[in-house]
Structure 1
Amino acid sequence: MNNKAVILGNNYYIGLSAIRSLGVHGVHTVAVDYSEEDRYGAASKYCSEKIIVPHYKNDTEGFIQALIDYAKKQDQKPVLIPCHDTYLEVIDANLPKIKEYYLIPQTEQGLASKVMNKDTLHALAVEHGVRVPETVRIHEPNFKERVEEEIKFPCLVKPFDSPSFVATFRKKIFKVHNMEELEEAINKAKEANLEVFVQRIIPGFDDHMYTFDAYLNQDGKVTHWTTCQKLRQYPINFGASVYTIQKYTPELFDIGSKFLEAIHYKGFAEIEFKKDEETGEFYLIEINARITNFNHLLYKVGLNFPYITYREMIGKPLEPKALTDTTNRAFWYGYEDFLAVKDYIKSGQLKTSEVMKSFFRPKAYAIWSWKDPKPAFTFMKTRVGKLFGGRK
């Protein structure tokens, strides 16, 4: 296997997990970042090479050119694996140019951005008969009346462009409880030049969040898949997974595979669903078009999606595989889960006894590894440094 794997974004544990998932099979991994700061994923013993490139947003042209220049020096086309939404957006916008030099599963320019954008994803879902939460756009006629009658309070103010919203507000959504809060949230978004819409909250605690994780080959067919259930998120209720279990939920394959194949998606995707606690129906919430937060859990249960991607891209695809058992293994990001647990207990959503029971499951850690401990030490060193640095 002479093709290198170029991993974009190693200042978060998704990049670290991708490096480990590939490096364990002897793949030459290249950590690509715009800064040395917080780059703990590149500290892995499975990282073969590290390079710094221009910032993907501040100097997009320079970033793309740096990737191309690197690829030109290689004997074989590298496989490109973005591990953050913002990297993915830039790659998608420049897909034809990048694909001349890199192996990338997606063939249709704009499709990744379309499924990441809440507005276009909503339209796609409706077009293909997939259930989505009721939504009202702020410029629609009778906006306020429709919110009060169809959406009802409390409700969510969500962005069309999630990466930009998260970068600005450090949260995924605004939860509002009345018209005054709604207007305030809309004004905040306007001031930041971000478009938003209003959406109904599907009833159910955080353990009603499920995922369908799948790989679609170059024929646009699902070849590898499993399903998971989130148990805790941070920030609580509307955040990223910090404690998730693999759990077989066959209905999600029926919905998810049909939808992804219908829109001609290729490569890895994770569809996030919420199960309505009153009706039992699943609603599509969002799609991650890059390696997921709990990739290490998927690796532990036998689905190594970065390697599945790599092998198909170099023309040596792995045998199809579906995980149709419940292993009950959990993904755990302890650093943020402790913060989440504190908030769950404080708000009365969880009891200490319930939390304690969960820790007895076999776990896949976000950062820690006995075989590869350096990234965890590097991570903790930077966190301690920031903690004491902030007290000066």
Structure 2
Amino acid sequence: MHLRRCGMKTFVLVTDAQPRMTLAVVRSLGQKGVNVLAAEKTRFAPALFSKYCKVGLVNPDPQKYPDEFMQWLIATLDKYPCEMCIPVDDATLDVIMKHRHKLERLTSFVLPPLEGYKVASDKGLSVLAAQQADILCPHTIIPDNLKELDVWIKNLEFPVIIKPRKSSGSRGIKYVEDKEYFKKAYLQVHKEYPFPIVQKYIQPVEKYGVCLLFNSASELRASFVQREVRHYPVNMGTSVVQESVYYPKLVEIGSKLMKSLKWTGIVELDFLVDQQGKAYFMEINPRFWGSLQMAVLAGVDFPWLLYRLAKEGDIEEVHTYKTGILCRWLLPGDILHLLTNKNRLSMNPSFLAGKKDNVYDDILSWDDPLPTLGFIMSCFRYLFDGQMWRFVLKGDHYEKHNNG
């Protein structure tokens, strides 16, 4: 896990320059003098416009063309002396985990064991792991065939959530209120995401993300908890505003689960707290999370800690940070929330809130303004992509099925 040492100038390769958490990684490392090389499927990606990105490259799509991406990655690591590679998004991480032994001869990574990763990246297997660790989860059905579909319907307690086993954000999730619509909704999800899981719907009072970093001995080295404040789509979607909070019990539960998987590196776990105050484990994100910038602002600089972990072998523990910090994903998340929220005038924090109200932004920065231009240019790239606009504007990543 130690970084390669070389007499010449070296880089840290950060993949997936489009998502906002990659921008947080690039800024964090760049501000500390690390030479960052970032890459994406297009040149029009926010992190590639950052002044902290020394070299920007275009790579093949790792989801559509994994073999070509792997060839590109090997060629890039041969051309540029990279002391470390930080894969950010799911598709890239899948390819790198599959070929890690070949790639580890070329650069350094901080990654979990393959078996643990397989469990963490599968929502069905992660629920089973949580249950085995005596962690509270919603009642869950994990199908492996369609023959017993009618049997499940008879035994289900509605409403339920149909959830893909592998997806990010709220893509493919369907909320079903009664039996009449279940079979159709399930088969729709199954067509794109084979054999999704089915969970009893828990009415949330609060949603939390527990962000953790483990060393190579699966010892917890950093922790951070965020409360979700606003979402898009409004009722059940990706969080667009979060607040830094302390919740030691959730850190304890999350750490217990990840230690059972012998975890190394970064991870984020989602929890839901119901009206009785019970905390339910929902899923694991085995990578950096969208709202990473807030943890950095609050005082837990996960990208820098990850880099130091690779360089030094181990680091001091970091579990204290500023609470009450709010950070939002204005472009486009909070704007879309504003446009679709019928109670927009009573939003708290207000849409117009800023730093004086302790509200910060994932992308906007006076110190590093050009990523905003990169985001705008990336929007033009998708200008005529109907599927992308349906996904963004209509919230096709979350659908509700009922008799209404």
TM-score by length of 2: 0.85
1:34 alignment partner in structure 2:
41
Alignment of 1:85-104 (within 5 A): 85-104=90-109
1:367 lines up with 2:374 in the alignment: no
1:328 alignment partner in structure 2:
324
1:340 lines up with 2:345 in the alignment: no
Shift of the 191–211 alpha-carbon distance from structure 1 to 2, 3 Å rule, reads: closer
- Whole-angstrom CA distance in 1 between matches of 2:124 and 2:64: 26
1:222 lines up with 2:229 in the alignment: no
1:17 alignment partner in structure 2:
24
Shift of the 339–311 alpha-carbon distance from structure 1 to 2, 3 Å rule, reads: same
Contact 1:230 1:244 (8 Å CA) reproduced:
yes
Contact 2:213 2:302 (8 Å CA) reproduced:
yes
1:53 alignment partner in structure 2:
59
Q: Which of residues 132, 140, 158 is equivalent to 1:135?
A: 140
Q: Secondary structure at the match of 1:67?
A: helix
1:352 lines up with 2:345 in the alignment: yes
Shift of the 354–192 alpha-carbon distance from structure 1 to 2, 3 Å rule, reads: closer
Alignment of 1:108-257 (within 5 A): 108-138=113-143, 139=145, 144=150, 146-147=152-153, 149=155, 151-163=156-168, 171-192=171-192, 194-205=194-205, 208-257=206-255
Q: Structure 1: which amino acid aligns with 2:12? A: A
Alignment of 1:369-388 (within 5 A): 369-383=365-379
- Whole-angstrom CA distance in 2 between matches of 1:389 and 1:161: 24
Q: Deviations over 1:232-286 (max 9, x none)?
A: 1212333222000001111112211122122210101111100112x21111111
Q: Deviations over 1:360-386 (max 9, x none)?
A: 631231110110000112323443676
Q: Which of residues 303, 307, 316 is equivalent to 2:304?
A: 307
Q: Cα distance, 1:102 vs. partner? A: 2.3
Q: Deviations over 1:60-88 (max 9, x none)?
A: 2221122122223445x531112211211
Contact 2:166 2:193 (8 Å CA) reproduced:
no
Moved over 6 A (4+): 388-391
- Whole-angstrom CA distance in 2 between matches of 1:24 and 1:115: 31
- Whole-angstrom CA distance in 2 between matches of 1:118 and 1:259: 14
Q: Structure 2: which amino acid aligns with 1:40? A: P
Total equivalences in the alignment: 375
Q: Secondary structure at the match of 1:314?
A: helix
Shift of the 81–157 alpha-carbon distance from structure 1 to 2, 3 Å rule, reads: same
Structure 1: 5+ residue runs without aligned partners?
Answer: none
Higher relative contact order (CA 8 A, sep 6+): 2
- Whole-angstrom CA distance in 2 between matches of 1:355 and 1:72: 50
Between the aligned residues of both structures, percent identity stands at: 23
Q: Deviations over 1:21-65 (max 9, x none)?
A: 1101111111112322x3121000000111222221333222112
Q: Cα distance, 1:141 vs. partner? A: 8.3
Q: Structure 2: which amino acid aligns with 1:23? A: G
Q: Cα distance, 1:91 vs. partner? A: 1.5
1:287 alignment partner in structure 2:
284
Q: Cα distance, 1:202 vs. partner? A: 1.3
Q: Cα distance, 1:10 vs. partner? A: 0.7
Q: Secondary structure at the match of 1:69?
A: helix
1:272 alignment partner in structure 2:
270
